[in-house]
Structure 1
């Protein structure tokens, strides 16, 4: 499901951040992480290596997450087989693949699908550890997987609470307390690995998440729907989850705490100085829900034929949601969608050598890199009001030159790209607008989704 129409949606703002970061040198990435986005540093470094080999096409940027989402489906099936039996495991893997959110974030050049895979893998490795808790190699593999989870996304480490519940059940059943000190050693090693990222992330949280609103109690149901990217799938799978049965308490306790505790903790933490109330931060709970749903379906369904009828029906009913996550501008949901590719096409059709560009950085973010990504690499447009690029200052934001009039170099034509459809010279910084209006006239404008592309032509001297 994740590879179907993988390249169709236009890159979203977050994906453009990925593109901008991974095309920096390793030294520049590490320097930038000291200032911003440290919590995504591991993903950027991995993608930097990937892009260095396979390039930065849309397919290349998104393919690793598509593979991660597919791998997660397999791991979920293996976990389900261990916890609830073979049939429930197969059903859980199929249900996972049918969730529209898996398609949505399995097609995005961000770390979230990789986080889901890493959390699922760490859980599977813990189950293997408890098969033979005397093996140091199994403990080491579990600790490495869990450290990888934390380095990809710190909030996902809350899955440890579910893991501790599983270990507690194992200790009680086997009357052997050694897993406690062994798990303590493993978690200490994990903490040592992720502490630098934790400290940097905390110092940068206000700057990165200032725009996320503090949640109220009525914000919980909408977020649940967003986690599944489908109200239909959310309702069906959560209903099935309540029908899950097991002869042992451990599987239900593991999946229940994995599904429920992280959202509760994120909700509580979001009432401090910074709010973390975003659906992408708790996507890693999806495997827990589908594991319970797979067990529930296996419990209530009378035959494999009934299983197949339910799965086909769910797949058909979820098709509209699957279509929505693949719409051209689906990756900017939550923001004002902008069609960077269409804007770039307007410029390509009217471009002349020597043309320059002015981008609306006064009100919007990543308008410049979005258009630049979809322009041919050999089409050069001088960014008129750019003083220093984000890469040059180890940041995500550019520095504009001032005063604006000094930055004009006598270009005959300037492409002005602004968000929205209002008069373009009213949409940019007032100083830049005044400098342009004194020397240029508006020749033509074209509107695309979320953006206006205008051509300014230099006034003739009288």
Structure 2
């Protein structure tokens, strides 16, 4: 199978669209090139979602101190460096060391300890929009960033001293760099992508399941880049693998986990998106964003493959926890934005 832009080839779009571009998306964005748009529109496409996310995040970042789920971070902020390293929470140590350093510089108030999450989620909203803008144009980018910013879970974890906001930012960064590295795998881009993989694994090892989605995209569309991608990924996951090995050696695990059951799986949309109704709408839009083209397939794989991989792994060991899948939110938001943009395009063409 040769590298290709399209896997599904129905003629669904207007007559002016080609068979390989059923929605006419290629008319605005040439393969491998950024869309030709006014710089101000590109700037606004990521700035507006970033401001939205910042305002939502800051609004309640000074809430009760500490919330139950933030207790570990508060203990780390007031503990000695030695105590953190010998706490037994091996996989959480990188985040706790970061919080300890942050507290040393900015104090241990609620706003101070939650600031890294606020900053990470704000940057993630901007990067979600920038990634979608590069692939689909500024209108879709703005929609993607805005959808991500208004999701209840985005606001919730931006307001908590937990590693999930930083994990999500690392996931968005890895996907941003992935799009470049499979098109032109230069040494500089490979190093950048590998560094993002390292950061992702140190933030939360389960988030490395994002690489399963990236891998599917590589082998489905860009097989010529597969060897380089595998080498970079293998090197990038080594630090996280070392953490897992150390955790297993000490008899510890990555946090609260459970065995997936039909009831837990049914609750996943509400827990992942914050509201069951929001999850149903976004999932419906995502189905409309089927991977007709390579750019959409990147996000489809990043959204769908990691949950399936986690479910598969959970059959062998109790590792199921909806929070571990928060790093898929940017992909879901982007798919929703692509669907809305396509619906708008269809109405314009009719």
Q: TM-score range by the shorter chain?
A: 0.7 to 0.9
Q: Does 1:28 align with 2:83?
A: yes
Higher relative contact order (CA 8 A, sep 6+): 2
| Structure with the larger helix share | 2
Q: Distance in 2 between matches of 1:202 and 1:182?
A: 30
Which residue is 2:139 aligned to?
A: 87
Aligned equivalents of 2:290, 2:259: Cα separation in 1: 36
**Structure 2 CA distance for aligned equivalents of residues 277 and 145 of structure 1:** 24
Spell out the pairing of 1:106-145 with structure 2 (5 A cutoff).
106-133=158-185, 135-145=186-196
Cα distance, 1:247 vs structure 2: 5.8
Q: Quick one: distance in 2 between partners of 1:130 and 1:268?
A: 27
Task: Give the conservation status (yes or no) of the 8 Å contact 1:243–1:300.
Answer: no
Distance 1:235 1:171 in 2: 32
**How far apart, in 2, do the equivalents of 1:221 and 1:57 lie?**
37
Tell me, yes or no, if structure 1 residue 166 matches structure 2 residue 217: yes
- Measure, in 1, the Cα distance between the counterparts of 2:153 and 2:250: 28
For structure 1, which runs of at least 5 residues remain unmatched after alignment?
305-462
Offset of residue 206 of structure 1: 6.1
Aligned to 1:285: 328
| Residues 281-316 of structure 1, C-alpha deviations (whole Å, 9 max, x = no match) | 111111111110000011112599xxxxxxxxxxxx
Aligned-partner Cα distance in 1 for 2:139–2:250:
45
Shift of 1:64: 0.6
SS of alignment partner, residue 6 of structure 1: coil
Q: Alpha-carbon deviation of 1:104?
A: 0.4
Assess, with a 3 A threshold, how the Cα gap between structure 1 residues 245 and 195 changes in structure 2: closer, same or farther. Answer: closer
1:196 aligns with 2:242: yes
C-alpha displacement of 1:68: 0.6
Aligned-partner Cα distance in 2 for 1:164–1:98: 29
TM-score, length of structure 1 as denominator length: 0.60
- The equivalent residue for 1:262 is 306
* Distance (Å, rounded) in 2 between the aligned partners of 1:14 and 1:145: 26
Q: Do 1:39 and 1:154's aligned partners in 2 also have CA atoms closer than 8 Å?
A: yes
| C-alpha contact 2:180 2:189 (8 A) present in aligned 1 | yes
Question: Which among 14, 32, 40 is matched to residue 69 of structure 2?
Answer: 14
Shift of 1:37: 1.6
Aligned partner of 1:215 among 252, 257, 260: 260
C-alpha displacement at 1:58, in angstroms? 0.4
Deviation at 1:204, TM superposition (A): 5.7
| More strand as a share of residues | 1
Q: Does the aligned pair in 2 maintain the 1:130–1:170 contact within 8 Å?
A: no
Question: Contact conserved, 1:166 with 1:254, CA < 8 A, in 2?
Answer: yes
> Would you say the 8 A contact 1:6–1:59 is kept in 2?
yes
Are 1:39 and 2:91 matched, yes or no?
Answer: yes
Distance 2:215 2:315 in 1: 26
Asked if the contact 2:303/2:329 (under 8 Å) is kept, the reply is yes
- 1:225-269: CA deviation from partner (whole Å, max 9, x where unpaired): 101111221122111112226762x22322222112222222232
Quick one: distance in 1 between partners of 2:262 and 2:308?
11
For residues 162-181 of structure 1, the C-alpha deviation after alignment (integer angstroms, 9 at most, x for no partner) is: 11233234535xxxx2x222
1:3-42 CA deviation, whole Å, 9 max, x = no partner? 112112442223121111132222322222xxx2211111
TM-score (norm 2): 0.78
1:244, 1:118 → 2: CA distance? 24
Residue in structure 1 matched with residue 296 of structure 2 by the alignment? 252
SS at match of 2:92: helix
**108-117 vs 16-25, which moves further:** 16-25
- The count of residues paired between Structure 1 and Structure 2 equals 293
Match of 2:230 in 1: 184
